[in-house]
Every structure is written in C-alpha cells, then in structure tokens.
Structure 1
Amino acid sequence: MKEGEKFRYPVAPAKLRQASVLLLLLAQGSLLEASSLQLPRFSSTFKEVLKAKSVKEFIFKFETRDFRLLHMDQGWIYAGLRDYLVSFSQSKMNREPLIIKWPASPEKEKTCRMKVIKGQENLCFNFVRVIQPLNRTHLLVCGTGAFSPICAIANRGRDPQDFVFHLVRNSQTSGLGSCSYSPHYESMATFIDGNLYTGVYMNFIGSDPAIFRTTGHLPTLRSDSYNNLWLNAPEFLKAFKISDSLNRNDDKLYFFFREKAIQGLPEPTVLALVGRVCLNDVGGQYLLTNQWTTFLKARLVCFVTEKDGRKTFFNKLQDVFIHPVDDKRDPLIYGIFTTPSDQLQGSAICVYSMADIRAAFNGSFTDKISSTNTGEPYTGDVPTPRPGSCPGGVSAPNFHSSKAFPSKMIEFIRTHPLMFNPVYPLQRRPLFVRTGPNSTFTTGVMDVVKAADGSYKVFHLGTAHGTVQKVAVLESNGTTEAVNLEEVAVFRTPAPVKTMMISSNQENLFVASDTGLSQLKLQRCPPYKTCALCCRVRDPYCISPLKSCSPKVKRCC
C-alpha cells in the first residue's frame, strides 16, 4: 500500500461471507499451502500424559480458582489467584509452594455485594492481577479488592533458599490506576525503570479505560479521559519497553490491545492495535495536563489471500510475545489472532518487524473519523515537532520537556491519535494458519531449539478447549515449513488456557486456566519404534544430536 492510499477492510454480504468461509474450509490444504497447519500428528489425553509423568498437576489444600501465571523471576514462578498469591521454585517443583492468603476486607466484600448486579456476587473477592518486582527482595502486588483495587508489597527474600514469602506489614495502599475493579476487565502491567505502567479500567462500571503510569519517580499520567478516539472499550494484552534510537530519550512503551471499532463503521467490529507513549513524557503544560502528550496507535492486520484475490482476515488479537534479536531495538513481534466468532474457527500467527511498526507511526495520520466516516488520511500541515515525538529525542531535540510542546501539537495529538496506514506482517501473510474445529488459540510462547537439521522455532500454543499444541517452524533458504507436532490435554478439568510461561533452562512449560495450574515437560518424546519414524516426526526436542528419540532409538537422527 502506498503512502496515503486508503485502506479498508472488505465488506461483503452475509451470503458471500459464508461462501468464502466454506471455500476456506474445503480448500484449506491448497488455499493456504505453505502456511497451513494440518491436524496434530500426535494427541494425548490428560490421563496419558499424567501416566507418562510428563505433566504435573498442582493441587492445593485450599479452595480457589482463577489461576493466572503472572511473573517468572530469580528462580521462582509467581501465580496470582483469587484471594491468594503462590510462589513455586522452578528447580524444585516437588517442594511445597509458598502461599500468601490475601482476601479483600469483610467491609469491602459486603459493600461489593450490595453494589454488583445480582448473580455476580462471585466477583466480590480479591483477584490478583499484578505481580511485578520492585527490587531483588520485594514484589509489588495488586488485586481487584472486591471492586476496590488494592496494592501491597510482598517480601520474597533475597535467595530462593530463603523460602520467605509474606506481605509487608502496613504496606497496603489503594490500587486505583494499578489494577482494574473487575477481574473481567482485561488488564496489563509492566514495571520499567521504577515506574508501573498499566492498562486498566479506572471506574466501577468499566467505562473509563486508561493507559496509566504510577508508583515511581515520574509524574502520574493517564490517557485522555472518555475519549473513544484514543481507547474505545479496549482489552489490554501486553506491554514492552523498546528503544527507538541510541538516544535514551526515545525509549518508548509499546502496548498491544484490541478494541471495538467506532460504532457505525463497517467491518470489522474489532481492531487489533499497537500503541505507544514516550517514557519521558510528563504531560502538557496547559492542554493534556497529567495526560500523555505522545499517545499514538496503529492497526495491525493479519490475513490470508484466497486464490481469487479476496482476503480472509483474522481480526481478534489474542496474545503477543516478542523474540529478541541481536539489536534490542528491533525485536520480532508475534501476534496470535483468531477469526470472528460468527465465522469459521481459525487462528493465525502473524509476525511484525519493528521497522514496519515505526514506519506506520511515521506515516500519515487518520483524519475525521466518526460514526459515519471511516476516516481519511490527514492532508493538512502537521505540527512541529511531529506529534508523537519524545522530548529531547531525535525528532524533538530542542524540547527539554513535554510541557514545552506547543499547544497546536498537543491539540493535534488529542484529536488525531490513530495512524492511517496499518502495519502488515512480514511477507504480508501469516507465519502459519490453523482452521477447523479446536483451532482457537488463546495464548502462546516460543522456544528456539537447535536440532541436527537446523534451528527450529517451537511454538507452544494454548487453546480454548484446554490443550497445548506444539508447532515447529523451520525457516531455510527463504522457505518456511510449519509442522503441528502434537496436542496435549493439560488440565484434569478442561478450560481455556489463560496464560503460559516457559522455562527453557528447566525445560518446563507452565500453563494456567480458571480451573487449574499444570507443569508440562518440554521433552515429551513418544516411544518411536524406528529411527526413520523418529526423524520423520521432526520434533526438535527429540532429534537433537545430544538427545535420544526414545530409550530404544539413541542419537539416530
């Protein structure tokens, strides 16, 4: 797409959309070709992997639910639950976990039950949603607090062998801006340079979303209140610190989320977006006081092109993870996308470069977007410095602070936060696609494994029906081969996978849902009976020169 060229999602009559979906289902093998995933080569039930001692189920003596894996640090896995914080040793998983009980106060629970809608009383607990390291010995933890967000400091000791884990006395404070009121509001949190950055909902009824900065030495900031041009019913996913130049003033927070399209616009109804703000933003002097002056966002698109040229879009961004490269300024961004619920089930992994993301932010702005207008590229004069520039950075070297930005530039960013050109994936197609039953991916992690025939990227993908699929991708001579190796049930009671974390050193995968928490071994090599079968399966965890496919087939690949 050329600069300034109008981008629109295709709008098709219902019957035509249904026909397109049917065509995709019938012809997925030839339609998607190199990027299409077939059924997993092996499938295992929970009983089978439990019997093989490949999975460990964590069973607690207390009644709880809503397991969320939130942080891995210094040899420990920290999980936030309903009314509990749990700490596991990565190297000694058989040892009893360290547990903190942290319920909301009886007064808060009582007030909550009086306020919430009838039938939602089960939300009147403290759902832990933030666990971030303050330093080597302490964590910042925050929860919903029965619709009254709270934060506290947890002492975790200096070393894993200390086995210390408790809340610091009198450390509990208000969690407004650090955690949402309801566990149903998707939120994100990351601690950067002593400051907590969150994506949260700021009120009881969930009508005021915000990108918020608090806790640290910099001024508290938030996104523009009740401005749906900035945030329109968003669901926050992940946030990362990424440097845009060698100048530290250009360091930014890049955050990924999905949100509703403004009412009245054509399809899609859900947009995938990447936003950013400058870390040294301190708000405006007269306009956007105590609010971001550098907030911008751009659309992420993920689609497959059918043989007749029409595109099938995967609009719903489910999760994001990054793969660092030698230059920390240019990691690869991996997004997990799904199709709308009224269409054929399908998921896709699209990969984006930071160069393409930055190009979108350096392109045209969207102008005049409304409920009756899809938006046009802005063709007027762009203020100086360019909106979105960081004070003291490469694009605004003469401005020592965001409070020195001219009012014209700040007013422009308040009304033009969306970039016009979308961000396309590498090669303008997904890395791979899976369609059909049981193909809705909810989250994922990636591991890089060196095997006898090259370096593989191995994706462990959680699904909506409580399993983990393992997909190996080998990129060689400009071609990409994706193999769906296996699917494993990881919970005794099936439930959608909510979060996953990988420990490559310990060769374990940690998987959480509303109903349980499991540890899965990365090396789960079935008992291949022949060397040829071992090699044909192409599981990089099993064909490494230093590992065997099975006790009977040693180093044959």
Structure 2
Amino acid sequence: MIRALLLLLCSRAVGTGRPPPPATPRLKLAFPELQTHHGLRVYELERSCCYDVLLLDEERGRLFVGAKNYLVSLSLDNISQQDRKIYWPAPVEWREECNWAGKDINTECMNFVKILHSYNRTHLYACGTGAFHPICAFVEVGQHIEDFVFKLDLQHAEDGKGKSPYDPQHVAASVLVGEELYSGVATDLMGRDFTIFRSLGPRPSIRTEQHDSRWLNEPKFVDVFWVPESENPDDDKIYFFFRETAVERPQGLGKTSFARIGQICRNDVGGQRSLVNKWTTFLKARLVCSVPGSDGVDTHFDELRDIFLLQTRDKRNPLVYAIFSTSSSVFQGSAVCVYTMADIRRAFLGPFAHKEGPSYQWVSYQARVPYPRPGMCPSKTFGTFSSTKDFPDEANTPHTFTCIAVDRVTAADGQYDVLFIGTDVGTVLKVVSVPKGSWHNMEELLLEELQVFQDLSPITSLQISSKRQQLYASSVTAVAQLPLHRCSIYGKACAECCLARDPYCAWDGNTCTRYVPNTKRRFRRQDVRNGDPSVLCSEDPQLGSVPQKKLYGVEGSSAFLECKPKSLQARVLWTYQHTSDAPKREVQLDERVVQMEQGILLRSVQHADAGLYLCHATEHGFTQPLLQLSLEVIGTQQAPGLAPFGTTEPAGPPGHKVWYQDFLQLVDHPPLGAMDKMCERLWSRGSPLARRRPLLPPPLSAKARPPKWRQSTELRKARSRRMHEAPRAERGPRNASPW
C-alpha cells in the first residue's frame, strides 16, 4: 500500500450527527462577474458536446480539443478567436450498424474523440469511438506557429481497438512514448474486456491477461505516465492509475472499490509460453488516501478521480497529486492527496500479497521471492537479464472533485504549488499549499472558488499554460479560458494584498499586481507563508481614509447596518461610539442586535442606538477598519425639526404628531387619490420636505386628470396670480421661493 500526505478535504457526514464545516473560499466569483471583469472566455460548437480531451501546445500557441464529431484548434491567447475545425463524423454504415446493435443513433452512434497526443513536430495522433467502431488517424498541424495547417489524414486511418474505447461513456487513459502508445482501455463492444495495451511502434503489441480478475477487475482507468528511473533508459517504467473492484476485499462486504497504481517496464517484450505477448513486469499496489478517526478506524477515499504529475528539477522524482472521492452512503466527500515517487517505488519493493490459510484470505507473502523479483526491468543496472524473454516462467481502486492541475509558482519567500481543482458543479477551486515547519505539516489556503461554466456542468479536464498565465477547462458543453490570477480584486491597500497570500500577486507600492521574480522594483511586498501585514505594510489604515456613510433610523422600527468584507474568511467586528469623542466599545449581540451575513440588524431601534458604528475585518490575526456608519435615530414623538445629533430629546412639543408618519402610512397603504392631499399636508407644515423640491409624478393632461388634481392646479394658479399682483413688501424677500 502507498500512503500519502492528505492535503485537502471536502466532506460531509450523511445522517450521522453534525457534518464537518465546509471549506470556505476567500473569494467566490460567479460566472457573470468573471466574464465581465476578469477575462473569462467560453467556446462551444453548435451540434456538438463532450469536450473531454485537451492538448496544450505552447510552441504553436494552440489548444487542441477533441469533441463529438469534431477536432478543434483554438488560440491559447484567446479561445474565442481564430478557431479551426475538422469535422470528423463516423461513416453512415458504422452508424447504422451501431443502431442495429441497440445503441441510440443520435447520442451514442457518433465519433467521440477520446485520444489526442503530439506524435512528432508536425502531426498529432487522434482516436475516436467511431460509433462503436474505434478509429485512429494522424492530424497535420504544421511545424511553426505561423503555419495555418490543420488537416486530418483519413487515407491512412487505423483500427482504434486497444487505443480508444467503443462506448462514449467509457474513459481511456493513454500516453505516447516515442512511437509507442500505452493505453488502459476496454477492448470489446460490451465493455467487459479491460486491458493495458501497447500498440504502434516497431515492437509487437502486448497486453494484460484476458478475463483474469487478479490482473484487472472492472477497472476505471484515470491516467498514465512515463517516468524515468535512472540514467539507463532500460529502467524506465510506465505507471497506470486506475480504480477497480478489489479482489482482496473482506468477505460479506459486497463490492469495494480500491485506488490502484500499476507499473510496467517500458522494455518489456513479453515472456515465454503462457506469457507470450503478455506483460511480464506488471505489478499493482493500492493507493491509500485516508483520515485517521478518533476511534482508531481510518476513513478511506478510494474512488480515484484524477491525477496530476508535477515535474520537479529531478525528472525521476515528480510529485503525484491525486483527486479522490468516496461512494459511501454514510460519509461523502472529496480529498486531495500527494505522493512522492520514492514512496511509490518503496511500495513496489515491499512484500507481495497472496491468498493463504484455511479461510483463504489475502496475507503478506513470506516465502522465497523469485529471482528476478517480479516487476524488475531487464537491465544491467540491477541484474544480468537483457530481455523479458529470458525471465523464468514463474507466475503466482456538499460537491465532488473531478480533476486537478498544479502550477509551481516562484514567490518572494520560496516556491509554492498552486492547485486548480475542478468540481462536478462547474466550479474551479484555487488552492495554495503552504508548509508549516516541514513538508509533512502543510496548510491549505482556499483562495478562490470560480464558476467557469454557467450551466454548472462538471469539469472534465484542466490544462495550465504557465507561459501565458492562463487556465483552460472543459466540460460536456463548452471550453473555458481564465487567467491564473486576479490580483486587483484583492483590494487597494497593502494589507489586503498581503492577506490574500496569493503567490502570483504582490504589493508594488501602489496596487496589488502580478509578482514577477528577478524584477528591480524595490517596493515588492509579499509573504505567502505568513501573510502578516503588520510586518510588510508600514502604513496603518487611518480612520480618515475609511469610507463613511450616514443612516437614519426610526425609533421602534428596524435598521440594517451593512458591511461585508471582500474575504469570506474574514471575521467582522463592530465597535460603537455614542459621540465622536466618546470611548469605543464592542457591539454586543443579543435578541435585538443580530449578526447577519451582510451586517448587523437592529430589530427595534432605540434613541440610545444613535452614534458612530465602525466595521472591522479580522483575518489571520490582523484587524483593519472597513466602514464607518453614522446612525441618527428619529423618535416617534419628535417634532417636525430633527433632533440635534447625539441627543435624545425631541425638538418639538410633546404629543405633536411627527411630519413623516403620514408619509410612511401612505407608502405602506396608498389610498387611491390621496397623494395630492399628502403632498399638500407636507407642504403646508414646517417639515424638512418643505425646504426642498417635492418629487411629484409627471403632469397629466387636463382631460386625464381627476377632478381633485384639477382643483389643486386651479388653486396654485390663483395663489401665483395673487403673489404677483401684491406689492413687493407683501411678497417677502426675493429668495423666499416655495421651491
């Protein structure tokens, strides 16, 4: 078994107590916002779907896409422009034969492209389902970026059996090494004969044993990689990642899925007698991704979903990032685990498992291990065998993560792995893994949750262009392109940029912008590991620079003080001052003062609530002011004039009805034809509304006006005539306009 470091966990318990708290992204951006402000581009074809295969070509600046009946070439700079398409349907007779076999002619009897690899400097190698008749062909793409060549060579098409699946619902995993294609695929129409197959190239084809559950038992292939093991190419191995029904499961538990990693030697040419054209170096081990429980029982994630191989300076020792889920009816969740090649190689050098004893259970094999050890490559590095033909004939796997891509980013304080994780609801999670003291003690920072597809289609593939700093995602319905970073969204202050802890971003003295190593800018400030603004940001946010707003509240009614920080991980704290020179105190929450997602709600406003409210955001031990609100409370017994700020005594005689109460009553229950009466009332009183121009409906024609409106108009005209006819002294000052 190969155990890993658990990096990220997203889980929930079903029907068994309280679920664990879900992971909260620091920022959550919806599809419209990403498309409008942050460079999201989407590409889709009419009458097509299922963009399962992405091939990123940095040299040509193209993104090659395999879809239903189409091969597409898109620009890496902008996938919405300069697209080139190849229509590649299945022949009519194949579609009819597929339909006769009981398949749907409109949904299944099509050519779904499942395999797409760079073959050489001028051609790609592509395979599709071909309406349950797998087919492969070469695609000419030119040698240089300026070569506008995209042409399918169907004259030299090949049988795709053992390379592409028959069924569009099946997934094939393959890698092209030199001129040889290594595939994990179903090789029959019914999808029952699964094999690890080597084809193309000058050497004979080799496969796993047919219909033998000890080799493969209902596998679901995920990915495959070629990893060199030493300076001698004879030691190179091909690693297959898949999940399968475990043959070593305990009796009585039904089907149990295990995650697996299988290895074969690249120079394996088959064995003797029963192993002619069969792998002689095939071994498999269990991938373990688990969480220790308080009761001593581990919770396992065995549904392997995706693999990303992160290359390091040593090509022989990449890091293996894996996405897992679980199909348990009690516990549901997803996880990311990371493995080292040293751990993987160590597992394949460990003890073997076999069935033994009266109950015929799987136990560790303790007898003599044959020489050469099973799984050893024929090489002068570790032995004297020059070919597998010389080997003796001894024989005895809230949302769910769907795929992953990892970018290694150089920051001011080191290198960090940024994980982009696709989900089954059309979102991409951006996560950075930060070491805390040692590599085995990691902290995962969930920076962003990005909705890249409007229809919430599951993400099927992710590709990263480090050169162009772009992320490419595919689903059943479309292909999306998005920048790897959005530094400006973090805020306009040094502290906000520092708290983001995004390895792509740094404070340059004026704004939060892209961090580029080896630049000569003196004011670059970045601290991904600690994210402490008090160390990097000397400027302390002054109260005068904090936005200010003024609110009015009516005594006895409710008032809402809105304040929402950009970071969803920040904790909001409110302080209160009765006057500007009074001491600050923290707002105490109770049944009347309620904390809500967008701010605090005062359910029944009192005169004592008037004053200054300051909203603070606390994140990662750092507190900064966000907003200052001035609340003025208007009493129900208050006179027409407003009370002075900070006082609780009414400005008019007791018992006098407040000017705005009639207006509020009109708004709540507007009787027909009462607006003119209300306006006349307010106009005749000494209310604040009498000092400003009233907002009245647009004038109606004389015929359309009700009689009361006509009477009011005649009265105003008469008053105006009397004012103009009166002497100047009787009219009052020149600036005493009723408006």
Band of TM-score, shorter chain: 0.7 to 0.9
Report the CA distance shift for 1:155/1:534 in structure 2 as closer, same or farther (over 3 A).
Answer: same
**Shift, 1:151, TM fit:** 0.5
> Are residue 516 (structure 1) and residue 473 (structure 2) matched?
no
In the TM superposition, what whole-angstrom CA distance separates every residue of 1:46-97 from its partner, at most 9, and x where no partner exists? Answer: 111111142101133x310001233112322111000000111223545321
**Shift, 1:121, TM fit:** 5.2
Contact 2:123 2:142 in 1 (8 A): yes
The separation in 2 between residues aligned to 1:492 and 1:229, in whole angstroms, is 44
> Are residue 470 (structure 1) and residue 430 (structure 2) matched?
yes
> Are residue 185 (structure 1) and residue 147 (structure 2) matched?
no
Q: Please, which moves more after superposition, 195-204 or 47-56? A: 47-56
1:451 alignment partner in structure 2:
411
> Are residue 489 (structure 1) and residue 451 (structure 2) matched?
yes
Among 467, 470, 477, the alignment partner of 1:505 is 467
**Shift, 1:304, TM fit:** 1.0
> 1:245-394 alignment to 2 at 5 Å?
245-262=230-247, 265=250, 269-368=256-355, 373-394=360-381
The separation in 2 between residues aligned to 1:240 and 1:544, in whole angstroms, is 39
Contact 1:467 1:497 in 2 (8 A): yes
| AA in 1 matched with 2:409 | V
In the TM superposition, what whole-angstrom CA distance separates every residue of 1:304-353 from its partner, at most 9, and x where no partner exists? Answer: 11334331111111111112222221111111111225233322111111
2:19 alignment partner in structure 1:
25
1:108 alignment partner in structure 2:
94
> Are residue 480 (structure 1) and residue 442 (structure 2) matched?
yes
> Are residue 67 (structure 1) and residue 54 (structure 2) matched?
no
| AA in 2 matched with 1:323 | L
2:43 alignment partner in structure 1:
58
Report the CA distance shift for 1:70/1:400 in structure 2 as closer, same or farther (over 3 A).
Answer: same
2:71 alignment partner in structure 1:
85
Among 490, 506, 513, the alignment partner of 1:543 is 506
The separation in 2 between residues aligned to 1:99 and 1:541, in whole angstroms, is 34
2:639 alignment partner in structure 1:
none
**Shift, 1:132, TM fit:** 1.1
**SS of the counterpart of 2:505?**
coil
**Shift, 1:358, TM fit:** 1.2
Contact 1:392 1:400 in 2 (8 A): yes
Q: Please, which moves more after superposition, 204-213 or 45-54? A: 45-54
> Are residue 167 (structure 1) and residue 167 (structure 2) matched?
no
Contact 2:249 2:256 in 1 (8 A): no
The separation in 1 between residues aligned to 2:461 and 2:13, in whole angstroms, is 35
**Shift, 1:501, TM fit:** 0.3
Contact 1:85 1:99 in 2 (8 A): yes
In the TM superposition, what whole-angstrom CA distance separates every residue of 1:97-142 from its partner, at most 9, and x where no partner exists? Answer: 111110000000000011135x585111000011112210011110
The separation in 2 between residues aligned to 1:83 and 1:369, in whole angstroms, is 51
Number of aligned residue pairs: 502
The separation in 2 between residues aligned to 1:132 and 1:120, in whole angstroms, is 28
**SS of the counterpart of 1:211?**
strand
In the TM superposition, what whole-angstrom CA distance separates every residue of 1:3-37 from its partner, at most 9, and x where no partner exists? Answer: 9xxx9xxxxxxxxxx989846824x6xxxxxxxx7
> Are residue 205 (structure 1) and residue 190 (structure 2) matched?
yes
The separation in 2 between residues aligned to 1:544 and 1:344, in whole angstroms, is 42
Question: Structure 1 vs Structure 2: percent identity of aligned residues?
Answer: 40
**Shift, 1:149, TM fit:** 0.3
The separation in 2 between residues aligned to 1:365 and 1:330, in whole angstroms, is 24
Q: Give the superposed CA RMSD.
A: 2.6
2:219 alignment partner in structure 1:
234
**Shift, 1:374, TM fit:** 4.4
**Shift, 1:235, TM fit:** 0.8
Contact 2:220 2:244 in 1 (8 A): yes
Contact 1:69 1:500 in 2 (8 A): no
**Shift, 1:365, TM fit:** 1.2
The separation in 2 between residues aligned to 1:155 and 1:386, in whole angstroms, is 44
Q: Please, which moves more after superposition, 293-302 or 455-464? A: 455-464
The separation in 2 between residues aligned to 1:544 and 1:226, in whole angstroms, is 60
The separation in 1 between residues aligned to 2:129 and 2:401, in whole angstroms, is 27
Unmatched 5+ stretches in structure 2: 4-11, 515-522, 527-739
**Shift, 1:174, TM fit:** 0.8
1:399 alignment partner in structure 2:
385
Query: TM-score under structure 1 normalisation?
Result: 0.85
| AA in 1 matched with 2:171 | E
**Shift, 1:514, TM fit:** 0.6
User: Greater relative contact order (Cα 8 A, min sep 6): structure 1 or 2?
Assistant: 1
Unmatched 5+ stretches in structure 1: 8-17, 29-36, 416-421, 423-436
Contact 2:419 2:430 in 1 (8 A): yes
In the TM superposition, what whole-angstrom CA distance separates every residue of 1:206-264 from its partner, at most 9, and x where no partner exists? Answer: 01001000011221111111111111111111111112233221111011111112396
Contact 2:99 2:109 in 1 (8 A): yes
Contact 2:435 2:443 in 1 (8 A): yes
1:534 alignment partner in structure 2:
497
**SS of the counterpart of 2:32?**
helix
Q: Please, which moves more after superposition, 256-265 or 187-196? A: 256-265
The separation in 2 between residues aligned to 1:404 and 1:202, in whole angstroms, is 29
> 1:103-182 alignment to 2 at 5 Å?
103-117=89-103, 122-182=107-167
| AA in 2 matched with 1:493 | D
In the TM superposition, what whole-angstrom CA distance separates every residue of 1:242-301 from its partner, at most 9, and x where no partner exists? Answer: 122332211110111111123963567110010010111111121211111111000010
Q: Please, which moves more after superposition, 444-453 or 463-472? A: 444-453
The separation in 1 between residues aligned to 2:323 and 2:128, in whole angstroms, is 27
